[in-house]
Structure 1
């Protein structure tokens, strides 16, 4: 995507017209059409989640079974009845991520930095959505392969990535 230029009037600051140039956010999908595509219909997405071999890490994915569309660049991952969602790393705001027909995006979620953390809470399910406007799909701890529950403390998630390896690499240690 090319940088966009906007002409902003700064009359209140007495600066006259000022030219501002904004570059796309780092890691944004490099497809200029993403901003124009419609949000994916929740029914056309297949959401998946599983525990990783690394303790305290989940892998999530979303596959588009409909026409090309967009989800938010950050998956919405919530934990049981706890307030809030996993925070994106790097920190970011909402932006579109384009999924082609049949395309899959991947993210890695660190639920707890230290599985032995005594402050960690334990939940029975995790809900994952491709877009914050979607209800998402819930996965029980048993279905994730975590029969003792999902330990959670200050969870973080990567942005959607085109491969599982890129998602794993983007998760800070």
Structure 2
């Protein structure tokens, strides 16, 4: 990852103060529903796995999932917070954009795809032992080790990682990432 001048705390603060934009199909005029409150960290469950090469997705992809475990509708940040080991800065969103709410109904999930590295032979490649995923910058997130992800060698290769926004299905998240990185 590139050295960043802003600290993670500053970046999280900027994300929290950014003007909210339209999120996962929450059209207040059409639904008559007010924007849901932010999910608390204990209201969401996070999962991560690696994409298999035969899935046809871009190589070096992690699939992540956030599930609202509460009985109430709530919102996470539409951009997953994905960090690698103790490296500086989160994965950049695809497409670029500002923080905003992503509504999750009770028991519902959102999905994202994360490209960890474009070219493993790049001299700038870093190896880390874990990735941390959170539904919002203020949440502590869940840590997934290379062993949890069944990655051989006990390390995750990373350089200039990107993440999709949360999507309604894993197929849609995979498609956003694939469309961004067509050969």
TM-score normalised to structure 2 length = 0.77
Q: Match for residue 134 of structure 1?
A: 139
Structure showing the higher strand proportion among its residues: 1
Task: Please report how far the alpha carbon of residue 44 of structure 1 lies from its aligned counterpart in structure 2 after TM superposition.
Answer: 1.5
Larger Rg: 1
Q: Match for residue 6 of structure 1?
A: none
- 1:57-100 Cα shifts (integer Å, max 9, x gaps): 10000011111100000100000000000000110110000000
Which structure is richer in relative contact order (CA contacts within 8 A, separation 6 or more)? 2
Runs of 4+ in 1 over 2 A off after TM superposition: 32-36, 115-118
Structure 1 residue runs without a partner (length 5+): 1-23
Q: Match for residue 47 of structure 2?
A: 48
1:57 to 61, 73, 76: 61
Structure 2 residue runs without a partner (length 5+): 1-20, 54-58
On the 8 A contact 1:62/1:106 being kept in 2, the answer is yes
Task: Please report how far the alpha carbon of residue 118 of structure 1 lies from its aligned counterpart in structure 2 after TM superposition.
Answer: 2.5
Q: Match for residue 150 of structure 1?
A: 156
Task: Please report how far the alpha carbon of residue 35 of structure 1 lies from its aligned counterpart in structure 2 after TM superposition.
Answer: 6.6
Aligned Cα root-mean-square deviation (Å): 1.5
Mapped partners of 1:128, 1:45: distance in 2: 11
Q: Match for residue 117 of structure 1?
A: 122
Number of equivalences: 148
Q: State the secondary structure of the residue aligned to 1:93.
A: coil
Task: Please report how far the alpha carbon of residue 152 of structure 1 lies from its aligned counterpart in structure 2 after TM superposition.
Answer: 0.5
Task: Please report how far the alpha carbon of residue 36 of structure 1 lies from its aligned counterpart in structure 2 after TM superposition.
Answer: 2.4
TM-score normalised to structure 1 length = 0.81
